[in-house]
Each structure stands twice: as structure tokens, then as C-alpha cells.
Amino acid sequence: MTESGSLDAAGQAGTARYDVLVVGAGIVGLGVAYAAHRRGLRVLVCERASEVVGASVRNFGHLCFTPQSGRAYEFAQRSRELWRELAREADFWLQETGTWVVARTDEEFAVLREFARVRGPREVHTHTVASIESKVPVAEAVGGVLLPLDCQVNPREAASAVRAYLQRCGVEFRFRTAVGAVASGVAHTSRGDIRADQIVLATNHDIDLLMPDLAQQHGVLRCGLDMMRVTMGLRAPLTAPLLTGWSLLRYSGFADMAATVDLRARLHSEFPELAQLDLNEMYTQLPDGSVIVGDTHYRGESVASFQREIAFDSLLSLARERFDVTDVRVLERWQGMYASAANEFLQDIRPDTGIHVAVVTTGIGMSCGLGFAEHTVARIFADSTWAGASPVLREAAAVTTSRHPDHELTGSVQ
């Protein structure tokens, strides 16, 4: 067998046949590889870059398990177990301090109180303004909640640590190897053909290149995001990821609340320029003390290569206001990208061809991707023992796609 990334004597990518070939070494591809490896299968991951470089390193590292709904909630709950297990086994930093969601207005607090009532004290702890001010370095809060089950990882390390762990377990990786096309049992790569019984495409937004018709059929677009990492003189450390304001409109768990209607109307009428940037106001502090600040969203079949300074200006001015600081210094700016569609997941299982697609089509892949990936593998092998809690998704894993096409699984399963 060839070494990772090298050619064999015939100039081919090796003559071995794999049980599962995973295309893409982001968190979803790694999750598929992990689940397949745990079934005792021979697994190869093919990645066109030289390391894990995609959305899985460009994000906040926020494992936002709680404010999801429907399938996303189920995948998030299973992802939580998998992240904790992997952090132990692969030995990377995972912080179990939850998420702070701070309300700056009565409308925001109304959404959070409703959410607390619906979810109960296991998932949501309500805090008064005095309590928030003593625990979170924000200014002008009117109250807030802690979502204690949420977690945080360092996105620059976590996926790479999972990759290294899987390599130690015997999963093979071939970097700098781009897959150009797939057919039943074979992937045509930039280093020759690779043969596998099952091929899973976990390519994020690049699914529109490998499977353009499928992507079009599911309305998959690309979503670009502006992000930055800053230092600022916070009056106390940010002990957990912080969501506020616009974030309450984004996560489906909050967005489902009746009180969100008023909040949406007010934010859109009061701040039309921020609404245009499709903002998610969010902050995570890394172990070195720097803070990831984001983000904005813009969608299309392709997204602009050039990031607009107005987006960064807006994010910085919100950060100054939120933490009541003036000394914000930008260390890095970057553009992230993910697949975006009306449904949150594109899971296309094709037992007839052995070519399957696993793409998270919204910005929650760090929170839901591992559970989603494991469920994808369970469906490929028609296995009803999927470890997630949802009976609907377990049953879905056990039956053929003709009875359960993807669109039948999009409703709430809670």
C-alpha cells in the first residue's frame, strides 16, 4: 500500500480496495471516518489540501448543542457525546462551560425566558442582570441565560487532533489528493484511481463541483462569512462562548419562540444596515486570551472574493459597545465558507451506487457534524442501532432511501 499522499510504482494511488473512502477531511469527513473505523472497516480519507483547512478550522469553536431544533437537535446531542469522547481519546482542549446568552433589551430577555420555560433547568439556567454582570464581562445587559450543556473547542486544533488520532487508530489519509469525479466503486483523483465499496462525499460547499445536479436540486448555495480574531481589554475572562442580539434570530431553538417575532421586527427596523450584513453577533475567547469575533453572511452560487471593510467596522463597533472597551486590536481577518440550503442537512444515501453525500448545509457543522456523520454511516449500513436518542432517526437509519428520502426527515423529531 502507498504511504499517505505518495504514488505507487505504477503512478497510481495504490491498488488497495477500501471499505469506505471519505472525500474531505473536515469535521464531517472525520466523523464519517471515525464511525466507519469503529465498525471495523478499512477507511481512507482523501483531502485535496495539505491539512485540515476548511470551515472546520475557520469557525468559532462553539459547540452549540442546546439552541437547535428538530434533526439538528438530535444530531447535536449525539455530537456532544462524540466530542467529549474524542477530546479524551485524542487529547485536545474541550471546555464544558456552556454558552452565555446575554439579553440587552426586554425583547431579547423575553425570548430567553420563553426558551428557559420550554427547555427547563437541565438545559437553561436563567440569570438576573446582577448575576450576568458578575460573570460575563459585558456592558448594559438586562439579564441572560447560561446553556450549561454547550461546549467550546479551539477550532485551530480540534479537527487536526481528531485527524491525528484517527491516523494513530489506522485510518489512512491521503492529503494533496483532489477527487475529480466518482463512479460506483471508484474515485478518480489527482493521484490516480482509488477503489472503495462505499464513497462518502463530505466536501462541504464543494459538493456543487462534484455533484452539481444534486446540489442544484437541493438549492445548495455557498455562504461566505467575515471573521476576525482580536485582543481587547476585557474586565474579566469570557469563560464560555457569548451570543447576543442577532444570534437569537439565527439558532432554530430560539427562532422557534413566539417572542422572537417582536425581536426580529425591532432589530430589522432599528438596524437595517446590520440586517443587510446578516449578522450573528458572537464571541469566543481562545486559551491564549484572544477573542474570535463574528460574523456576517452573504450567499450565492459563488461568493465575492473581496471582503467589505464595512462588515469588519460593524463587528468591531459592536464589540466595543458590547464589552465597553476602546482598545480592540485586530490580529487576523479571514473569510469562512459553508454550504447553505433551506434544509440544514444534505444526506443522500445511495445503496445502488455506493456513492453517498454528507453535507451540513448551514453554519452548525461543529455542533451537529459528528452526530450527523455517524448517522450517515448508520444509514449506509442500514443499521437501526445508531447511538443517537431519536427513535425516528434510528428507524430512518435502518430503511432504504426509497422509503425515506431526505426530505421526509426534515421535520422536528423531538
Ligand X SMILES: Cc1cc2nc3c(=O)[nH]c(=O)nc-3n(C[C@H](O)[C@H](O)[C@H](O)COP(=O)(O)OP(=O)(O)OC[C@H]3O[C@@H](n4cnc5c(N)ncnc54)[C@H](O)[C@@H]3O)c2cc1C
Binding site for ligand X (CB under 6 A): 23-29, 46-49, 53-56, 58-62, 64, 178-179, 202-204, 206, 210, 225, 227, 295, 336-338, 359-360, 363-367, 369
Using the minimum distance from each CB to ligand X, give the nearer residue, 28 or 263.
28
Using the minimum distance from each CB to ligand X, give the nearer residue, 125 or 188.
188
Using the minimum distance from each CB to ligand X, give the nearer residue, 194 or 393.
194
d(CA 57, CA 41): 27
Q: How far is the CB of 63 from ligand X (least distance, A)?
A: 6
Q: How far is the CB of 221 from ligand X (least distance, A)?
A: 14
Using the minimum distance from each CB to ligand X, give the nearer residue, 33 or 110.
33
Q: How far is the CB of 91 from ligand X (least distance, A)?
A: 21
Instruction: Find the radius of gyration of the CA atoms of the chain.
Output: 21
Cell, residue 219: 438549492
Cell, residue 399: 430503511
Using the minimum distance from each CB to ligand X, give the nearer residue, 113 or 314.
314
Q: What single DSSP character describes residue 297?
A: -
- Cβ atoms 244, 22 nearer than 8 A: no
Cell, residue 270: 432599528
Using the minimum distance from each CB to ligand X, give the nearer residue, 143 or 155.
155
Using DSSP's 3-state secondary structure scheme, residue 316 falls into: helix
Q: How far is the CB of 209 from ligand X (least distance, A)?
A: 7
Phi and psi torsions of 247, nearest 5°: -60, -30
**Amino acid at position 217, single letter:** Q
**Amino acid at position 399, single letter:** V
Q: How far is the CB of 180 from ligand X (least distance, A)?
A: 7
Phi and psi torsions of 169, nearest 5°: -80, -10
H helix and E strand count, the chain: 15, 20
Helix, strand, coil shares, percent, the chain, to 5 = 35, 25, 40
Q: How far is the CB of 21 from ligand X (least distance, A)?
A: 10
Contacts of 334 (CB under 8 A, 6+ apart): 58, 227, 228
Q: How far is the CB of 130 from ligand X (least distance, A)?
A: 29
Cell, residue 279: 449578522
Using the minimum distance from each CB to ligand X, give the nearer residue, 56 or 260.
56
